[in-house]
């Protein structure tokens, strides 16, 4: 009886391991971040893009207002693509678009805005990329929809017309 139990146990254990690993194969090995987390917005200190005055994020973001924080840079090609959409969205009074200028050269950034227009109500500067990390961002471009000091939705990569429509549905 005992002699039969051991091989049975070994087979059982390897069977379980096989099933676990086999199930694991179905999972994607590409990192997929959670886009719908309702986190509080981070607090950070930064400088204003035009005036270079130090700004505190908690003094700036007001509750019961809708914000879209957009991380952008003049060297980022997809930012150039999504910029007309931001310009369009800026005409909507309900939403305040805030910029976070990521690792950029100020002169290039100013040229970028002069060329394509400035949809931002306010621009924060992030010279070393650490403010973007406070937001849990991966790179540029990235956008965060904010309401009541909470991140409602995160958009990784350039915005497109579908996402803008979705956003308009959300802020109705």
Partner 1 sequence: MSILKVFLIIFFLFNLNTVKADNQEKINQITKNLRCLVCQGQSVYDSDSEFANSLKTLVKQRLDEGLSENQIYDYLKIKYGEWILYDPELNKNTLILWLLPILIFLTGGAIIFKKFFLNIRK
Binding interface with partner 1 (CB under 8 A): 6, 9-10, 13, 17, 20, 30-31, 33-34, 103, 128-130, 132-136, 138-140
Judged by CB, which is closer to partner 1: 92, or 149?
149
The least distance separating partner 1 from the CB of residue 64, rounded to whole angstroms, comes to: 25
What distance in Å separates the CA atoms of residue 126 and residue 70, rounded to the nearest whole number?
12
The least distance separating partner 1 from the CB of residue 78, rounded to whole angstroms, comes to: 14
The least distance separating partner 1 from the CB of residue 133, rounded to whole angstroms, comes to: 5
Judged by CB, which is closer to partner 1: 27, or 59?
27
Is 46 in contact with 125 (CB distance < 8 Å)? yes
What distance in Å separates the CA atoms of residue 71 and residue 102, rounded to the nearest whole number?
6
Judged by CB, which is closer to partner 1: 78, or 136?
136
The least distance separating partner 1 from the CB of residue 51, rounded to whole angstroms, comes to: 24
Judged by CB, which is closer to partner 1: 102, or 147?
102
What distance in Å separates the CA atoms of residue 21 and residue 146, rounded to the nearest whole number?
39
The least distance separating partner 1 from the CB of residue 49, rounded to whole angstroms, comes to: 19
Is 97 in contact with 144 (CB distance < 8 Å)? no
With left for phi above 0 and alpha for psi between -120 and 50, is residue 103 left, alpha or beta? left
Q: At what angle do helices 161-170 and 77-89 cross, to 10 degrees?
A: 40
Judged by CB, which is closer to partner 1: 27, or 52?
27
Is 80 in contact with 116 (CB distance < 8 Å)? yes
């Amino acid at each position: 009886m005992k002699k039969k139990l051991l091989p049975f146990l070994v087979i059982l254990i390897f069977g379980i391991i096989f099933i676990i690993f086999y199930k694991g194969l179905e999972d994607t090995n590409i990192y997929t971040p959670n886009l719908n987390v309702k986190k509080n917005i981070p607090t950070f200190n930064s400088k204003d893009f035009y005036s270079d005055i130090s700004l505190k994020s908690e003094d700036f973001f007001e509750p019961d207002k809708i914000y879209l924080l957009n991380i952008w840079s003049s060297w980022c090609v997809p930012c150039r693509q999504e910029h007309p959409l931001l310009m369009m969205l800026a005409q909507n009074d309900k939403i305040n678009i805030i910029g976070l200028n990521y690792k950029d050269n100020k002169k290039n950034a100013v040229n970028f805005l002069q060329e394509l227009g400035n949809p931002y109500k306010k621009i924060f500067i992030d010279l070393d990329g650490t403010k973007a990390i406070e937001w849990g961002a991966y790179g540029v471009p990235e956008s965060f929809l904010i309401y009541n000091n909470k991140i409602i939705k995160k958009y990784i990569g350039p915005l497109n017309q579908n996402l803008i429509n979705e956003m308009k549905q959300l802020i109705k």
